[in-house]
Amino acid sequence: MGIEGIGARVLRKEDRRFITGKGRYTDDIVERDMTHGVFVRSPHAHAKVLSMDTAAAEAMPGVIGVVTGQQLIDGAVGNIICGWMIYSKDGSPMKAAPWKVMDPEVVRHVGQPVALVVAETRAQAADAAEKIVIEYEELPALTDFSKAMDDGAPQVHEDVPNNLICDWQLGEEAATDEALATAAHVIELDLEQNRLVPNAIEPRAAIASYNEAEDHFTLNSTSQNPHVARLVLSAFYNIAPEHKLRVIAPDVGGGFGSKIYIYPEEITCLWAAKHLGRPIKWVADRTESFMTDAHGRDHVTKAKLGLDADHKFIGLKVETTANIGAYMSLFSSATPTYLYACLLAGQYTTPNIYCNVKLVYSHTTPVDAYRGAGRPEATFVVERMVEAAARQLGVSPAELRRKNFISEFPYQTPVLMNYDKADLHGLLDKGLAAIDYDGFAQRKAAAAARGKLRGIGFSCYIEACGLAPSKAVGQLGGGVGQWESAEVRVNPVGTIELLTGSHSHGQGHETTFAQVIAERFGLPTDNVQIVHGDTDKVQFGMGTYGSRSGPVGMGAIAKALDKIEAKAKKLAGHLLEADENDIVIEGGELKVAGTDKKLAWHEMTLGAYTAHNIPDDMEPGLSEKAFYDPANFTFPAGTFICEVEIDPNTGVTQVVKFVAVDDFGVIVNPNIVEGQVHGGLAQGIGQALFEACHYDDAGQLLTASYMDYCMPRADDLPNFALDHIETPNPNNPLGVKGCGEAGAIGAPAAVMNAVTDALGTEDITMPATPEKVWRAIQANRPAMAAE
């Protein structure tokens, strides 16, 4: 309703400051007496630290002090936690080895911090860092995680035999095996989920300070969830109790999951700020980001899909090994288990599904949730299997999907999830029309005439976001609730401050959240200010990840607005001498329905604050708070169709057409939703074609800068054709489902299905680099010639 309400293409309010260079990021902040920290990091993937001599460094110009891991242990700083308990199929709990903030005895991945040098300038700290003398005893490293459980493989942690953290399962193995045994057709694939580096545009950064007079800490940091950061810094790392620690996440340049976690650097800087008595700024350089931001994905999988004679899916068995890296990061146990296996039904009625996941350690950077977090991995398995099945059976991939679509909702899958509502046929129909599916054969022939191999690939995804119903999370082992909070403060003049526990680091909350308020009261979005990212201002919140700020964050806003609306109507009824039930609020006015009696919004709000004439049972003021705990996950779904052309002489793959039809429920701002989809697709295409993270056998990260790690560029991507179906989410106050990860979830399978279609082989892994594609063509030449 109205030009700035829900559904309007409002330009992003925050972009004025971002595109004019007026953003205020952590590194822009300067504190009085601020010093600079530089971390000394392990050059080895696995080594014993035999000795460390910091004397020469401490004597360098400008040095305030050096902090070592032993000092943190002596200072009772706690180990870094994994926040989600899972159990092996034998009932035993996962084996999470201790993650010391800076382990003084053993290093387990390249880039692991071993000391912090603090000096007056960053250059002085960097100079001094080079003077720390550390004697290492190098040990064999495990970097190929598919060999983690082999006899004789290097052990990452003493108390975790065979590097096996957890042998986890979901679903009915016997029933699935039986279905596969009776299946008319069984499709088998070996699949790999390539390891990705998150690459937020702003590297991680922190400014830690300590006020001795008040015994109070402040941390400015690049966090997606400052309240969670404060909680764990207080409850587990013993920095300070929550009321003695303020965490601020100012403007933050992207996260994609990597800024959910609380890393050794932030903890060390906080402890050191008190210990050394000076504020400390630390800003990662790009290579530090590559080495220490939690990486994403990294699975190997064997999958079997059984179909009956009528081509109905009857069983899916998935066996995955997931690389966790050197330590268990905050959500590392949930990401490859509950966030993965629970989506293996995909859009289909497969009645028997079994998934086994072996979580293993390796001498690499910790792996955790990255945009999509488990759902891209699940979608890739399901959609690659379905496409391969269609090819092997010689049937249309669209019709095979259609035959197996879930068409009645709600639908209980065999892997915990209960899908509320979706229009899967509608999504596919729109996708087929948008790509001009019937014209593909002609386009393929035209490409062949130009010497190109053209392929088409589908990806029909369904995902779960809106993390999450707290009770369900608790039952599955999660350590926190996943509700959200909002506080709506209406000022005497009628303008509004919205305090939200969500955090915006690229999502455009300052615009969309204002639109939700504008919609409710008919006010301009300019009259609304969004306040977020500061534990002193916002009472509590769970932050932004898992596409939760729309469905959960806005749910809390809607609940708080309900309370504001009720009180506003009651006051207006009182002032207008009418029944509050007859009051309607629209266009910034409170009107008595069916009459010409009305009050301007600001007259009502001023009345609430003067309190000269309010009902006897009413408190003055107009400010309300709400916590919203979702009733269920939300289930965005979509159909992606990709067309590629491959140059067989060079192996270069070009994405020439990409259609994405999504159902995100109610769309608050189409501009922002389209931007989210574009960004997600870029990352998904990046995973499929470009992004390769390489460790050598010694555990050295070979791709530690943009010289070697390929990010997708604008000219690598086609013009995306986007469309939507809006099936309002029946469980959400605003009908929204969440849109932040869909592109990254669905795109890899669509691209790889198109690449494998063009090549005529399933045997190629992501990223499908030119050399891999060229080699696949070379290996496949006799087959192609025979066609």
Q: Which of 493, 180, 462 is nearest to 317 (CA)?
A: 180
* Bridge partner residues of 7 (DSSP): none
Nearest to other proteins of 215, 708 (CB atom): 708
**What is the phi/psi pair of residue 617, to 5°?**
-95, 15
**Which residue from 351, 760, 775, 780 is in contact with other proteins, where contact means CB under 8 A?**
775
Least distance CB 718 / other proteins (angstroms)? 17
C-alpha span between 263 and 240 (Å, rounded): 16
**Which residue from 694, 763, 779, 781 is in contact with other proteins, where contact means CB under 8 A?**
694
Q: Which residue has the tokens 């496409």?
A: 387
Per DSSP, the three-state class of 35 is strand
Q: Segment near other proteins (CB under 8 A), from 3-11, 25-33, 643-651, 748-756?
A: 643-651
Least distance CB 682 / other proteins (angstroms)? 15
Output the CA–CA distances (angstroms, integers) from residue 354 to 174, 191, 281, 376, in the order listed: 9, 16, 48, 18
* Bridge partner residues of 373 (DSSP): none
Nearest to other proteins of 728, 770 (CB atom): 770
**Which residue from 529, 703, 765, 780 is in contact with other proteins, where contact means CB under 8 A?**
703
Least distance CB 638 / other proteins (angstroms)? 28
Tell me: does residue 708 bind other proteins (CB under 8 A): yes
**Which residue from 9, 771, 779, 781 is in contact with other proteins, where contact means CB under 8 A?**
771
**Which residue from 213, 707, 785, 786 is in contact with other proteins, where contact means CB under 8 A?**
707
Nearest to other proteins of 671, 700 (CB atom): 700
Nearest to other proteins of 126, 476 (CB atom): 126
Nearest to other proteins of 120, 173 (CB atom): 120
C-alpha span between 335 and 464 (Å, rounded): 12
**What is the phi/psi pair of residue 598, to 5°?**
-160, 165
Nearest to other proteins of 212, 715 (CB atom): 715
**Which residue from 11, 123, 445, 779 is in contact with other proteins, where contact means CB under 8 A?**
123
Q: Segment near other proteins (CB under 8 A), from 74-82, 263-271, 477-485, 705-713?
A: 705-713
Q: Segment near other proteins (CB under 8 A), from 98-106, 325-333, 373-381, 644-652?
A: 644-652
Q: What is the dihedral sign for C-alpha 769, 775, 777, 779?
A: negative
Least distance CB 383 / other proteins (angstroms)? 25
**Which residue from 140, 522, 588, 770 is in contact with other proteins, where contact means CB under 8 A?**
770
Burial class (CB in 10 A: 0-12, 13-18, 19+), 266: buried
Tell me: does residue 127 bind other proteins (CB under 8 A): yes
Contact yes or no for 12/672 (Cβ under 8 A): yes
Largest CA distance in the chain: 90
Q: Which long-range contacts (CB under 8 A, 24 or more apart) does 616-620 make?
A: 618/567, 618/570, 618/571, 618/574
Per DSSP, the three-state class of 373 is coil
Per DSSP, the three-state class of 395 is coil
C-alpha span between 604 and 602 (Å, rounded): 5
What is the CB-side half-sphere exposure of residue 307 using CA atoms within 13 A? 22
**Which residue from 338, 361, 709, 720 is in contact with other proteins, where contact means CB under 8 A?**
709
Per DSSP, the three-state class of 119 is strand
Q: Segment near other proteins (CB under 8 A), from 120-128, 180-188, 425-433, 526-534?
A: 120-128
Tell me: does residue 537 bind other proteins (CB under 8 A): no
Least distance CB 453 / other proteins (angstroms)? 15
Least distance CB 285 / other proteins (angstroms)? 9
Q: Return all residues near 783 (Cβ < 8 A) that are at least 6 apart.
A: 760, 761
Parallel/antiparallel/unpaired status of strands 589-592 and 598-600: antiparallel
Nearest to other proteins of 651, 665 (CB atom): 651
Nearest to other proteins of 282, 513 (CB atom): 282
Tell me the two tokens of residue 155: 């052990």
**Which residue from 96, 101, 614, 692 is in contact with other proteins, where contact means CB under 8 A?**
692
Least distance CB 192 / other proteins (angstroms)? 16
Q: Segment near other proteins (CB under 8 A), from 105-113, 123-131, 154-162, 336-344?
A: 123-131
Helix (H) or strand (E) holding 684: helix 670-685
Tell me the two tokens of residue 105: 């005895």
Nearest to other proteins of 175, 710 (CB atom): 710
Q: Segment near other proteins (CB under 8 A), from 3-11, 290-298, 471-479, 688-696?
A: 688-696
Nearest to other proteins of 288, 463 (CB atom): 288
C-alpha span between 306 and 420 (Å, rounded): 26
Q: Return all residues near 290 (Cβ < 8 A) that are at least 6 apart.
A: 111, 197, 701, 703, 704, 705, 709
Which x/- pattern over 283-322 shows residues binding other proteins (rule: CB under 8 A)?
Answer: ----x-----------------------------------
Nearest to other proteins of 41, 532 (CB atom): 41
Tell me: does residue 717 bind other proteins (CB under 8 A): no
Tell me: does residue 780 bind other proteins (CB under 8 A): no
Binding residues for other proteins, rule CB under 8 A, total 24
By CB under 8 A, the residues from 591 to 610 that bind other proteins are: none
Tell me the two tokens of residue 720: 């995306």
Least distance CB 59 / other proteins (angstroms)? 18
**Which residue from 321, 333, 362, 769 is in contact with other proteins, where contact means CB under 8 A?**
769
Q: Which of 345, 382, 294, 310 is nearest to 109 (CA)?
A: 294
Tell me: does residue 784 bind other proteins (CB under 8 A): no
Least distance CB 707 / other proteins (angstroms)? 5
Nearest to other proteins of 379, 769 (CB atom): 769
C-alpha span between 104 and 40 (Å, rounded): 12
Least distance CB 710 / other proteins (angstroms)? 4
**Which residue from 153, 476, 531, 710 is in contact with other proteins, where contact means CB under 8 A?**
710
Degrees (nearest 5) of the Cα angle 85, 86, 88? 145
**What is the phi/psi pair of residue 18, to 5°?**
-70, -45
**Which residue from 15, 649, 763, 784 is in contact with other proteins, where contact means CB under 8 A?**
649
Helix pair angle (509-521, 554-576), 10° resolution: 30
Contact yes or no for 555/629 (Cβ under 8 A): no
Tell me: does residue 650 bind other proteins (CB under 8 A): yes
Single-letter code of the amino acid located at 258: S
Render 743-784 in DSSP notation, one character per residue: HHHHHHHHHHHHHHHHHT-S---SS--HHHHHHHHHHHHHHH
Burial class (CB in 10 A: 0-12, 13-18, 19+), 142: buried
Contact yes or no for 772/651 (Cβ under 8 A): yes
**Which residue from 11, 19, 448, 702 is in contact with other proteins, where contact means CB under 8 A?**
702
Nearest to other proteins of 88, 194 (CB atom): 194
Q: Segment near other proteins (CB under 8 A), from 94-102, 576-584, 657-665, 765-773?
A: 765-773
Task: Give me the residues that bind other proteins (CB under 8 A), please.
Answer: 123, 126-127, 130, 287, 649-651, 690, 692, 694, 702-703, 706-711, 769-771, 774-775
